[in-house]
Amino acid sequence: MEYANLGRSGLVISRLVLGTDNFGTQTTGEDAFAIMDRALELGVNLIDTSNVYGWSFGEGLTEQIIGRWLAQGGGRRERVVLATKLYGRMAEGPNNSGLSAIHIRRACEDSLRRLGVDHIDLYQPHHIDRSVRWEEIWEAMELLKAQGKIVYVGSSNHPGWHIAGGQEIAARRGHLGLVSEQTVYNLLERTAELEVLPACRHYGVGMMPWSPLDAGLLGGVLRKERENTLGRALPGAGMAPHRGRRMVKLEHHRAQVEAYENLCADLGEDPANVAVAWLLTRPGVTAPIIGPRTAGQLEAAVRAFDVKLDETTLARLDEIFPGPGPAPEAYAW
């Protein structure tokens, strides 16, 4: 396993993050325990979740699973960098969603209870809240830090301008500000290169891309289609609307995906590993977030470190999946 500092903080994390959004839905609690145990054995030390994962209103099912796993002891809590998120509605009432100070406080207390811990290592707004100013957010986060309930603050799904605004206000308050950002970023979705990645690099914010395989489209989907195993290739295949959107996107990008899978075949590498390996080469990327449904998928993801992409291969990937280029040149003169 490789390790790196998360942004400009002193926190050292593995260069793969264990995402847990399948725990409690597509992955049973027993299998989730096995995945987390194996992750520690492989050196993956950051486990990322959210209070809404499990997707049962107000339950926080995934946090509960992680809490039961941590409660087994054996040094699990001490070996883990524990990250969770807040924003989504977890209870009825106007103050039970978003990023108001009162909701940040309530959400943190609820996550601590479900996780069975006394502090969260990395606490992350899951989305921006346009109705709340950064001053209020930072005041609430600073209080949680002073109380010892959180250690670092990150963000998720924040645009570049919002990251910049948050960092400037944190600096004026004499605080560290954000140490990380989670954003969708992969070979098919490179919009982050316009503004988000540059903002993160400028402010020393670590980047943790989610959906590195674009929900399975970069994981050998055409091969699985030929093998008649496509139902298992696309996450959420049992949910018709989700599957429909993925199939529409696949048809739109079929020629690119075919060229990509052919390139991977020439390299003798699994497409999923090449997709993660590509992210590991990107400037500003600290650690991609993988979301294995099985221990086998976790084992496969770690093999991305063995994939070496030379300049010729990287250039070919840019030809197949051209990025937008830097802002503002990408959309201005």
Looking at residue 285, its amino acid is V
Give ∠ CA 103-108-112 in degrees, rounded to 5.
150
Question: Which of 3, 53, 123, 203 does the annotation list as catalytic?
Answer: 53
Give strand pairing partners of 19: 48
What is the 3-state secondary structure of the chain?
CCEEECCCCCCEEECCEEECCCECCCECHHHHHHHHHHHHHHCCCEEECCCCCCCCCCCCHHHHHHHHHHCCCCCHHHHCEEEEEECCCCCCCCCCCCCCHHHHHHHHHHHHHHHCCCCEEEEEECCCCCCCCHHHHHHHHHHHHHCCCEEEEEEECCCHHHHHHHHHHHHHCCCCCEEEEEEECCCCCCHHHCCHHHHHHHHCCEEEEECCCCCCCCCCHHHHHHCCCHHHHCCCCCCHHHHHHHHHHHHHCHHHHHHHHHHHHHHCCCHHHHHHHHHHHCCCECCCEECCCCHHHHHHHHHHHHCCCCHHHHHHHHHHCCCCCCCCCCCCC
Is 53 a known active-site residue?
Answer: yes
Give strand pairing partners of 122: 83, 152
Q: Which residues are catalytic?
A: 53
